[in-house]
């Protein structure tokens, strides 16, 4: 009865509200303004030539409401780094050497997780999409450069996104503006050399962004709002647009990235396979990297749950400062289902930041899982004139 009622209002922008209000658990969370929930859901319908059309529904979408994007910023970094390698006409697996020439910079000559021990844009991209590695993002940030990172996103129409710092390292504004010297090699042949870059733009929010009632600094509680003014920002609508443009670049050419076919296949593969399915040995440890380690919608990052092979989730998650985000394209080849779902939720009951006291397991992950399951069940019932063929996506 529920699915039929929801399908009957599919053309209404209230569709997501119907789904949420029909489930007390979802509604109790989403209706609470403290959780800052925003949702975008896009239905996909194929025609007789397998060409897609899109219908998007939103819930509490607010492009101006700040949330910390956490690791979701790694997705544009991967796409821009691979695009840059294409422009340089250098294979993405070229060996990378990273030097240090400014305060707090660190060099890299070896990557212990790489089968050949060689750092590369390709291997960093795999680590990011597979398990959301922070250092891998920092290295791609350094390779692209702060100004280029933001200018290229602006040119593609991602005008509200601001990327201005590395992750998991507390650096000054000046330290984040300076990016390391880098060299690319094939065997011992130098292919490309990049001197240290210095970002000259001001990427901070034009207006102050302060949240909460306190924050932890060096083990001490500071009874002041936490300042996000100089933090990254990647609004949900632009996250949603980016994954749509990646999956269907021919439908969104202005916002797509210029990737070689083999590089696009790399991102498709490592954004959707599970850690145990990769060739990277350290990530095959299912106790540390379980199936849904980086899959929040539908599965809620629950250890011990084995994901079925027919469902593939191409996504990038984020988790920090109480914010839980998933930006996903979900496919079930067996059932002929596909849809986009982007969600953010905030869980920080004490309003203290940086204290590692966030209700991820109690509220955020169950909400993500239940919402994804509700949309999936709706898609099971939603009539489709032409079942999709995924040959253009399952190319790996």
Range of the domain at 43: 2-381
Q: Is residue 390 part of a domain?
A: no
CA distance 257 to 245: 8
CB 258 within 8 A of CB 84: no
How many domains, the chain? 1
Q: Is residue 396 part of a domain?
A: no
pLDDT band per the 50, 70, 90 thresholds, residue 137: very high
pTM for this predicted structure: 0.96
CA distance 318 to 313: 15
Q: pLDDT tens digits, residue range 11-22?
A: 446 999 999 999
Tell me which residue of 327, 319, 305 sits closest to 360, measured CA to CA.
319
Q: Is residue 129 part of a domain?
A: yes
pLDDT band per the 50, 70, 90 thresholds, residue 67: very high
Residue 4 has pLDDT above 90, yes or no: no
Q: pLDDT tens digits, residue range 23-43?
A: 999 999 999 999 999 999 999
Average pLDDT of span 176-204: 97
- In this prediction, residue 200 carries a pLDDT of 97
- In this prediction, residue 172 carries a pLDDT of 98
Residue 319 has pLDDT above 90, yes or no: yes
Average pLDDT of span 251-265: 98
Q: pLDDT tens digits, residue range 204-252?
A: 999 999 999 999 999 999 999 999 999 999 999 999 999 999 999 999 9
- Give the mean pLDDT of the chain: 96
CA distance 256 to 267: 14
Q: Is residue 387 part of a domain?
A: no
Check which CATH number belongs to the domain holding 203 and give it: 3.40.710.10
């Amino acid at each position: 009865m529920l699915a039929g009622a929801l399908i009957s209002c599919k053309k209404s922008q209230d569709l997501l509200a119907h789904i949420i209000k029909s489930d007390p658990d979802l509604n109790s969370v989403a209706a609470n303004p403290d959780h800052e929930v925003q949702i975008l859901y896009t239905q996909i319908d194929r025609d007789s030539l397998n060409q897609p059309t899109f219908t998007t529904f939103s819930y509490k979408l607010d492009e101006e409401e700040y949330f910390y994007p956490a690791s979701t910023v790694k997705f544009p970094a991967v796409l821009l780094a691979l695009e840059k390698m294409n422009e340089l006409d250098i294979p993405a697996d070229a060996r990378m050497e990273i030097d240090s020439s400014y305060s707090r910079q660190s060099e890299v000559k070896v990557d212990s997780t790489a089968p050949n021990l060689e750092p590369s844009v390709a291997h960093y991209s795999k680590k990011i999409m597979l398990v959301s590695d922070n250092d891998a993002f920092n290295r791609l940030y350094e390779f692209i450069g702060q100004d280029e990172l933001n200018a290229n996103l602006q040119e593609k129409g991602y005008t509200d996104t601001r990327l201005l710092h590395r992750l998991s390292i507390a650096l000054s504004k000046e330290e984040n503006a300076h990016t390391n010297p880098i060299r690319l090699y094939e065997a011992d042949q130098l292919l490309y050399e990049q001197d240290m870059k210095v970002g000259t733009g001001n990427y901070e929010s034009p207006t102050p962004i302060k949240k909460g009632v306190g924050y932890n600094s060096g083990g001490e509680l500071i009874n002041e709002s936490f300042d996000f003014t100089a933090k990254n920002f990647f609004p949900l609508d632009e996250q949603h647009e980016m994954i749509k443009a990646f999956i269907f670049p021919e439908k969104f050419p202005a916002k797509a990235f210029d990737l070689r076919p083999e590089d696009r296949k790399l991102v498709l593969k490592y954004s959707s396979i599970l850690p145990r399915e990769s060739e990277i040995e350290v990530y095959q440890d299912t106790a540390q990297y379980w199936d849904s380690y980086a899959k929040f919608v539908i599965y809620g990052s629950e250890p011990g749950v084995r994901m079925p092979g027919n469902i593939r989730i191409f996504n990038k998650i984020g988790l920090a400062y109480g914010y839980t985000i998933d930006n996903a394209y979900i496919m079930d080849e067996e059932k002929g289902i596909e849809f986009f779902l982007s969600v953010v939720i905030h869980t920080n009951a004490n309003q203290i930041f940086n204290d590692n006291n966030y209700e991820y397991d109690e509220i955020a992950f169950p909400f993500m899982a239940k919402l994804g399951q509700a949309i999936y069940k709706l898609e099971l019932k939603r009539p489709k004139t032409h079942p999709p063929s995924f040959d253009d996506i399952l190319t790996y």
